[in-house]
Amino acid sequence: MKIHEYQAKEIFAAAGIPVPRGEAVCNVAEAVAVAESYGRPVMIKAQVHVGGRGKAGGVQYAENVEAVRVWAQKILGMEIKGLRVNKVLITEAADIVSETYVGIIIDRATKAPVIMVSAAGGVDIEEVAARTPEKIHKLAVDPSVGLKMYQARDLAFRLYRDIKQVRQAADIIMKLYEVYWKVDASLAEINPMITTPDSKVVAIDAKINIDDNGLFRQKEIAALRDLDAEDPAEVDAREGDLSFVNLSGNIGCIVNGAGLAMATMDLVKHYGGDPANFLDIGGSSNPQKVLTAMRIILRNPNVRAILINIFGGITRCDDVATGIVMAYEELGPEVPIVVRLTGTNEAQAIKILKKVNLESAETLDSVVKKAIELADQDSASAGRIT
């Protein structure tokens, strides 16, 4: 799960990491009021869940209240990579002497949280990493022992010469590591971390991604989710315990298991079709999930055929079949549906499907080809003037 910069900064501040004063607002009047109360130049920063906000014009400097009015007007409501900006963060502008980078990420290769620092922080950090990897310093932390002060200090020495700044940075790195564990993060990042003319080290940006698997024990963090900043179909899917990604094609896909879902979509593409979505109904199936899945897919006006591919293991085919029958009865789908159910309780499932005159296809390839054929037919007839 992603959270906004202003939320991440609140978490940082609570942990004792220095961040500039700031407040998130939803309209121009509030933006102006916050800037007035600060009485000094501010930054206006779009709060959206995509990278590259600055390059898209979503981060601006405002010298005075008039400028705040103008920029808040412009940024609120603008679209960045397809996402509408509903909130901006008004935060005190800092005088920047230097910019560094600090990030902590879970690393599957070393099986450790890895801390990365670079003296070359800022918006071009990925280029720095690609062109001059020697400028990125990494430390894999022993997860059972935790981060030790000397390690944080060693990393800080890679960033600063002034021992006072080194100490501040080491303290920030220690606290960032604490935050990382405390909130079940998969990523905690400060880019840039800056020094000011009076030699203070400050986090002027903050990014935290939360491991979805940790949310069951992170009730406060889970409550930070900003539903307005996400695709509504994806929000519904998550509430129905499905994983779903909207795509641009016309074949709605319902599959169990992420790997098989991807392989099924790959095959749709391989045979010349175009998937409308990724949808994984997950492990333990219950018929309700299939109903929710059908409802979400049928809402997409581009869908011309629905392809259901289930290979039963922990998912039982009869549960899925029951869900399909429920969907037929409750939703009355007008697009053709092709099904392949195989594995656990397959025989019972085939019996259940007979109620709605559906047959289960023999193979993955055949069901994919059938879906493409039906989607094409349907598109052809839809385009015809009668």
Site string for other proteins, 24-63 (x = CB under 8 A): ---------------------------x------------
Rounded Cα distance between 71 and 86, Å, is 14
Q: Is 378 in the site for other proteins (CB under 8 A)?
A: no
Question: Would you give the distance in Å from CA 283 to the centre of its chain?
Answer: 22
Q: How do 185-195 and 201-203 pair as beta strands?
A: antiparallel
Rounded Cα distance between 53 and 67, Å, is 19
Considering only residues 164-203, where is the footprint of other proteins by CB under 8 A?
180-181, 184-187, 189, 191
| Closest approach of other proteins to the CB of residue 109, in Å | 6
Residue range at the interface with other proteins (CB under 8 A); choices 12-20, 89-97, 141-149, 290-298? 141-149
| Closest approach of other proteins to the CB of residue 275, in Å | 7
Are the beta carbons of 201 and 193 closer than 8 angstroms? yes
Cβ distance to other proteins smaller for residue 20 or 122: 122
Tell me which DSSP letter residue 360 carries.
B
Tokens, residue 108: 């599957």
Rounded Cα distance between 23 and 10, Å, is 10
Task: Establish whether 38 is a catalytic residue.
Answer: no
Q: Contact with other proteins (CB under 8 A): which of 98, 300, 342, 348?
A: 342
Residue the block writes with tokens 């195989």 = 342
Question: Residues 241-250, buried b or exposed e (16+ Cβ, 10 A)?
Answer: ebebebbebb
What is the edge-to-edge ordering of all strands in the sheet holding 42-46?
Answer: 22-25, 88-92, 42-46, 59-62
Q: Contact with other proteins (CB under 8 A): which of 15, 65, 67, 112?
A: 112
Q: Is 259 in the site for other proteins (CB under 8 A)?
A: yes
Tokens, residue 318: 């009869």
Rounded Cα distance between 329 and 191, Å, is 53
Q: Is 149 in the site for other proteins (CB under 8 A)?
A: no
Q: Is 219 in the site for other proteins (CB under 8 A)?
A: no
The residue from 5, 189, 328, 346 that is catalytic is 189
Rounded Cα distance between 230 and 49, Å, is 8
Site string for other proteins, 274-293 (x = CB under 8 A): -x--x---xxx---------
Residues binding other proteins: what is the number (CB under 8 A)? 70
| Closest approach of other proteins to the CB of residue 267, in Å | 5
φ, ψ dihedrals at 193, nearest 5°:
-95, 130
Task: Establish whether 359 is a catalytic residue.
Answer: no
Peptide bond into 192 cis (omega under 30): yes
| Closest approach of other proteins to the CB of residue 214, in Å | 4
**Best CA proximity match to 53, nearest among 31, 28, 70, 78:** 78
φ, ψ dihedrals at 373, nearest 5°:
-60, -50
| Closest approach of other proteins to the CB of residue 383, in Å | 25
Considering only residues 294-313, where is the footprint of other proteins by CB under 8 A?
310-313
| Closest approach of other proteins to the CB of residue 260, in Å | 4
Tokens, residue 351: 């019996």
Cβ distance to other proteins smaller for residue 336 or 343: 343
Q: Is 336 in the site for other proteins (CB under 8 A)?
A: no
Tokens, residue 216: 């069951």
Cβ distance to other proteins smaller for residue 156 or 268: 268
Q: Residue numbers of the site for other proteins (CB under 8 A)? A: 51, 101, 103-109, 111-114, 116, 125-126, 129-130, 136, 138, 142-144, 180-181, 184-187, 189, 191, 207, 209, 211, 213-214, 216-217, 245, 247, 255-260, 262-263, 265-267, 269-270, 275, 278, 282-284, 310-315, 342-344, 363-365
